[in-house]
Amino acid sequence: MPTALTAPAAGAVPPDASPDVTGSDAALRRYLHGLPGVDAVGLEARAATLGTRSIKTSAKAYALDLAISMIDLTTLEGADTPGKVRSLCAKGANPDPTDRTTPRVAAICVYPDMVPVAREALAGTGIAVASVATAFPAGRAGLEVKLADTREAVAAGADEIDMVIDRGAFLAGRYLQVYEEIRAVREACARPDGSAAHLKVIFENGELATYDNIRRASWLAMLAGAHFIKTSTGKVAVNATLPNTLLMLEAVRDFRAATGRQVGVKPAGGIRTTKDALKYLVVVNETAGEDWLTPEWFRFGASSLLNDLLMQRQKLRTGSYSGPDYVTVD
């Protein structure tokens, strides 16, 4: 029998956060609305303060390599071709042909039909193949369509699935529907050998509109068994921001304190420069802690960020700024 959730006291970490417990839609709603409200002014002020922190030259080389190793190098366009995907895979495996010490990216993220191409191109590299699914980016499809989308990607060899939640259902307060959909997609990530693709759950924060909604979505996804929570699809006007990523990092930190289970965070969309990436690393370190400063627990969803990181890395190594003509064009 499912266990009824107990709403947490204001300002407290929820005491009962097992990912296997849920009651009725009303009980889940009471639980999520019992989460402490977000102090928007305080959140944005803290994010702004952390964004001014500088990384000294002695640590910058390490930070640049860490950021590269955390990238989900992404192409999600209607004009994607096998050739474009193979080129992206080659770049992810060998980002700077002039310097073989450059780390590889964490994953290549593509549409489900391109998973076999990426899988073949990345064989032996150790780079994961990530695939969006569940009628990305809008998520406007029936559950069976979403599950078929997921199973197709997993069967083709995807190591990771990036799903989108039904924002309409969430905003209408149908939290149990969203919870059950995430659970169903996680089950669809299973493989015949007993292993499973990791599940990243995308909120589309720009459409959730409020920080309180982002906090509720974070806890809802983690309760449902997400391996990662992700800010956005990169397809709307407002994508990843320092404040909403900081809020999600607070959520995963508190969730681990309550349950013992660690969940990753992936900001995606709009992170294009080294300066921005380093700000995010500072926020990770200062909010969740060093345990999240690995590709296993923190990722950047990006397409253009890698080039700027490579140019900054070359500058650090050679003393001169090479410019965009010295890196490959995606």
Region of 126 on the Ramachandran plot (φ > 0 left; ψ -120 to 50 alpha; else beta): left
The CATH number given to 25-318 is 3.20.20.70
Catalytic residue set: 162, 230, 266
- Reported as a single tens digit per residue, the pLDDT across 158-184 is 999 999 999 999 999 999 999 999 999
Residue spans per domain, the chain: 25-318
Question: Is the CB of residue 294 less than 8 Å from the CB of residue 300?
Answer: no
Average pLDDT per 10 consecutive residues for the chain, totaling 330 residues: 35 42 79 95 97 84 96 96 97 94 97 98 98 95 96 97 97 95 97 96 96 98 97 91 98 96 96 95 97 98 94 85 62
For residue 231, the model assigns a pLDDT of: 97
For residue 26, the model assigns a pLDDT of: 87
Give all strands of the β-sheet with 300-302 in edge-to-edge order: 264-266, 228-230, 198-202, 160-164, 128-132, 107-110, 71-74, 300-302
Q: State the Cα–Cα distance between residues 208 and 119, nearest whole angstrom.
A: 34
Q: How many residues does the chain have?
A: 330
Q: What angle do CA 211, 236, 310 make, to 5 degrees?
A: 95
Beta strand 198-202 with 160-164 is: parallel
